[in-house]
Amino acid sequence: MEAVHGTCVAIGECALLVHGPPGSGKSDLLVRLAEQSARLVADDWVLLNGDQGNLHAFAQAALAGKVELRGISVLTVLFVRTVRLVMVVDLVSGTAVPRLPAPATCTYEGVVLAVLALAPFETSTPAKLRLAPAHAPAHAPA
């Protein structure tokens, strides 16, 4: 099992792990996705467990269903207990998002995942995140 800093959000039956420094827009992006029926898996720290070529994400028990919204408070929201992680999203500035990115990957618990770099505050980012898993290369054991 591995713990990583980030926010994990479930869209349908799969999840995305969102990386970025504090204040980069992880939770803000989660809120915008939740308005369109996405669900929190974990905020701040995400636990990952590899199993037979799949990677499952879940929250630490004390943080389950909790999300910190800067300027408001720590709120309790609807969440998914565990879900298959299919992609990693690195939050970057708008000028750092490549127009046509070369394939990028990372590995957790022996599972290779596609990585995207997206700007968190662009209006289209939630829609891009809904589309991205269907266009990611299938992950495979490292």
Q: At the topology level of CATH, where does 2-135 sit?
A: Rossmann fold (3.40.50)
pLDDT tens, N- to C-terminus, the chain (142 residues)? 999 999 999 998 889 999 998 888 888 888 888 888 888 899 889 999 998 889 999 999 888 888 887 788 787 777 788 889 999 999 998 888 888 888 899 999 999 999 999 999 999 999 999 888 876 655 444 4
Instruction: Note the helical H segments in the chain.
Output: 26-34, 125-135
Q: Could you give the CA distance from residue 11 to residue 83 in angstroms, rounded to a whole number?
A: 10
- pLDDT for the residue 138: 54
Give the span between the Cα atoms of 94 and 12, in whole angstroms: 27
Would you state the pLDDT for residue 92?
A: 93
In angstroms, how far is the first alpha carbon of the chain from the final one? 16
Spatial distance between the Cα atoms of 137 and 134, rounded to a whole number of angstroms = 8
The pLDDT assigned to 141 comes to: 43
Domain boundaries, the chain: 2-135
